[in-house]
Amino acid sequence: MTVVTRFPPSPTGLMHVGNARTAIFNWLYARHNNGKFVVRIEDTDRRRHSEEAVKAIMDGLKWLNIDYDGDVISQFSRLDRHRQIAMDMIAKGQAYYCYCSAEELEEMRREAIEKGYKNFYNRMWRDADDSPIPKDIKPVVRIKAPLEGYTVINDKVQGEIKVNNDQLDDFIILRSDGSPTYMLSVVVDDYDMGITHVIRGDDHLNNTFRQKIIFDAMEWKTPEYAHLPLIHGTDGAKFSKRHGAQSIQEFRDMGYLPEALFNYLLRLGWSHGDDEIISRKDAIRWFNFKRIGKAPAKFDFKKLDSINAHYINETTPDSLIEQAKPFYKSRHNIELNDIGITRIKAGIDELKSRAKTLLQFVDDSAFYAKTLPIEYDEKAQKNLKDSDDILEEMLKYFNSHTGEFSADYIQEICKKIADEKRNGKLGKVAMPLRAALTGTTASPSIFHAAEILGKSETCNRINAVL
């Protein structure tokens, strides 16, 4: 048997982390078993459908480097197939037309609440073959759910789960306008696409028992199910906007690397011993259902930052700068040129060691790519105040220097000026130099930074302040 898994997002918004983790787990299980991973866009709800959302989903998969097999399937394009299966089920006596009016359904709901019934619909049309058909009602099609016994799902994560069939209702599979419901479309598509394993969040667990009714009614083999625990925030509540970023786009815009987010989401609910950093190759080799926990996983931004910092350190300079380029423009209005890139590369080891995100990497390195005039933030202006004598003295030493313009030389001169003008306090000299060269008060080692900028640029920036 060839393992086939699927990722079936609804195109109603951006791709959130729960979707991404589901895609990762399905992709890994398929690749681990040399199987197929397919993508199906569940776009039957045309009122909420968004082509921008489809693009965001596909962009998210591409950014996470999750490939798929075959063409992307549109569920909407298969409506005729879904309707035909509903008709087949009616012919087999496994489904029936229901002509209840809105008023009748509302009365059933009211009675169910009063009497504490588990299901509100009283199945009045289930066996009403000889009843007169109302001419002014467009019927829906309902499934004939089993009335006795129980249904069992042997879940790959949750174990054996049993539900009494009296908890299952005769749910609608075809609406009065002829459109199929989610329950029907999902089952037909899973069957036609040869899906062998359905891996999804445990918020779909109730759906599974209803979908199994359709599989059984059509005498189709039911896929294996694996329901993943949901993602929670650190407070134990379901992960939401109030806990921070939710969509893949937001994480990308916050400066996280795709490799880091992939690694982190993999570890949300799955483990391999104490390993935190797991390569994609090892993830494919190790992934199985036995290592998926049953308890909800807690999203921890500090841990994500730590993993992201690791991947920043592991990324080559060229790749890191290429991924960071959009942020130089958006945050500092800088178009990187060859001079800026050369300087950033010269200081990249220290820049990498400081950065937890691409945003921090960009903010720390942007001064290398700046051109005069430089803007000075409020703290930098404070450090530049009453420091003209220090900067003038630096300029005198630097302009007359004919040897190597090294970090050691620059630090030596700053110490000399500190002894002469600031009671030996090096910080009183180094901070104005940092403010003059970077426009900020936070940067890598300023002596090393000045060496990378070079004598001419360093002097030009000091002179600009003066």
With respect to residue 415, please indicate whether it lies within any of the assigned structural domains: yes
Among the listed residues 224, 189, 218, 178, the one whose alpha carbon sits nearest the alpha carbon of residue 83: 178
- Report the pLDDT value the prediction gives residue 112, as an integer from 0 to 100: 83
Q: Is 64 among the domain residues?
A: no
Per the structure, the complete domain to which residue 130 belongs is given by: 78-184
344-376 pLDDT, tens digit each: 999 999 999 999 999 999 999 999 999 999 999
Among the candidates 135, 152, 184, a domain finishes at 184
Number of structural domains, the chain?
2
The answer to whether 41 and 8 are in contact (CB under 8 A) is yes
In DSSP terms, 141 is beta-bridged to: 97, 174
- 292-307 pLDDT, tens per residue? 999 998 999 999 999 9
Q: Which residues pair with 180 in a beta bridge?
A: 174
* Residue 185 reports pLDDT greater than 70: yes
Work out the mean pLDDT of the chain and round it to a whole number: 94
pLDDT at residue 342 in the model: 98
383 and 431 in contact (C-beta within 8 Å)? yes
Can you read off the two tokens belonging to residue 255? 């400066």
pLDDT band of 49, cuts 50, 70, 90: confident
| DSSP calls for 11-22 | SSS--BHHHHHH
Single out the residue in 184, 213, 231 at which a domain terminates.
184
Of 184, 217, 239, the one marking the end of a domain is 184
Q: Taking 70 as the threshold, does the pLDDT of residue 384 lie above it?
A: yes
List, as one string, the DSSP characters of 248-270.
HHHHHHTT--HHHHHHHHHTSSB
**Residue 35 pLDDT > 70, yes or no?**
yes
pLDDT band for 245, please (50, 70, 90 cuts): low
Cα 57 from Cα 52, distance rounded (Å): 9
DSSP letter, residue 13 = S
Query: Is residue 428 a part of any domain in this protein?
Result: yes
pLDDT at residue 273 in the model:
93
Q: Which two tokens stand for residue 100?
A: 């209840």
- The reported pTM is 0.92
The pLDDT tens digits of the residues spanning 90-115 come to 999 999 999 998 899 989 989 888 88
- Tell me, what's the pLDDT at 117? 78
At 163, which CATH number?
3.90.800.10
CB neighbourhood size of 149 (10 A): 9
